[in-house]
Amino acid sequence: MTPGVSLEILDLRHFTAPLLRPLLEIEGDVWQERLHWDYRTSTRLLMQYLDSRMLPGYAAVDAGRVTGYAFCVYEETKAVIGDVFAIPHGAMNGGGVDQRPQTALEIETTLLRHLFETLQNSPHVDRIESQLLLHPSGAHARAFREAGFEVYRRLFLVQPLAGMPSAPPVDLPPELEMRVWRDDDLNSAGRLISEAYAEHPDSVINDQYRSPHGSLRFLHNIVRYSGCGVFSPQVSHIVLERATRDIVGLVLGSRVSGTSGHITQLCVRPHYRRRGLGRMLLGVAAAAFLRQGLSEVSLTVTEANSRAIELYQSEGYECQHTFDAAVWKRNSIG
Ligand SMILES: CC(C)(COP(=O)(O)OP(=O)(O)OC[C@H]1O[C@@H](n2cnc3c(N)ncnc32)[C@H](O)[C@@H]1OP(=O)(O)O)[C@@H](O)C(=O)NCCC(=O)NCCS
């Protein structure tokens, strides 16, 4: 459907934070309801960017009010579509006023198409990635595919913490030791991530995983900039080789609301796999969330990562939501 006459799509940089606040508050309610995620930290960050007038993206404006937005961020020659969200056309006018109401989905699709066009016509952008966690798998898959993206289904899994041991047994071979995360673990952790994700479906979706430098960037976003909830060093643990002091396994966790924790990373060096380290690290992180008074822990996993899914399911995680990751490469459209 084409946009209704009163719906305009405008450059997001024309809008200051107060103009988007009502929309962001509605979006926050959806994050809370669907994922038990407190979106306020992200909202505050987003509003700072909006006020700096430097956030690339589009706003949908209906009778002078912002009813939708989509934005991206640049990482060198890559653009990452961070979010798209809209409320139905007419909803802010008391509902039912518009004779041809557009659904939120249609407005979001229009916003996404504007972003695709801008980015694909920007010669310095050679790759576009997107993971729209809030939106159910399939919601925008067609628009992404029509624009030349590959789409990958991902799962949002949740495990209740009630009844779990608050101090699970830690049984390690003598050559390994475990401790909580320290800030100076970043570089060694970056090397582990790039090794653990070599030839992995997640490094197709997120090219940061392909190099120690990119993995370090991923870690900075999680650990330093609260890119995914508030990082919790007490939850996050590493397993070290005593002889080399190399990190061979890690779990990272963040608090995403007053009730929910989120595992942002779990990986084990290939040489040490199938010895129970992954399961142990998961249990240690869950116990730490429990001691913090949280009632559930979530994580995301790519559907193709069947081994990890097997591990999570055997630990009691259940799928509560699915969403899509999408990737476009400039040379992929010839
Ligand atoms: C997923 C990962 C962390 C598991 O670590 P691990 O230390 O090998 O896990 P465990 O030894 O505790 O294995 C736990 C269970 O996972 C499943 N599993 C793990 N690797 C498997 C494999 N190669 N084949 C079949 N099942 C496997 C099994 O159910 C296994 O239980 P079992 O050994 O009792 O049969 C590790 O494979 C890894 O780092 N993968 C790459 C990064 C990744 O995918 N991270 C998760 C992103 S969401």
Domains within the chain, CATH numbers bracketed:
7-125 (3.40.630.30), 158-323 (3.40.630.30)
Q: Which atom of ligand 1 is nearest to the CA of 308?
A: 1
**H/E element, 325:** strand 318-329
Burial class (CB in 10 A: 0-12, 13-18, 19+), 153: middle
Query: Nearest C-alpha to atom 30 of ligand 1 is from which residue?
Result: 311
Report how far ligand 1's centroid is from the alpha carbon of 70 (Å): 36
pTM (two decimals):
0.93
DSSP 185-225: GHHHHHHHHHHHTTT-HHHHH-GGGGSHHHHHHHHHHHHTS
Q: What angle do CA 209, 214, 220 make, to 5 degrees?
A: 105
Residue nearest to atom 39 of ligand 1 (CA): 267
Q: Determine how β-strand 7-11 pairs with β-strand 150-160.
A: unpaired
Ligand 1 pocket test, candidate residues 152, 154, 277, 279, most atoms within 8 A of CB? 279
What length does the chain have? 334
What tens-digit pLDDT sequence spans the chain (334 residues)?
A: 444 457 899 999 999 999 999 999 999 999 999 999 999 888 998 999 999 998 999 999 998 999 999 999 999 999 999 999 999 765 554 444 444 457 999 999 999 999 999 999 999 999 999 999 999 999 999 999 999 999 999 999 999 999 998 888 898 999 999 999 999 999 999 999 999 999 999 999 999 999 999 999 999 989 987 668 899 999 999 999 999 999 999 999 999 999 999 999 999 999 999 999 999 999 999 999 999 999 999 999 999 999 999 999 999 999 999 999 999 999 855 4
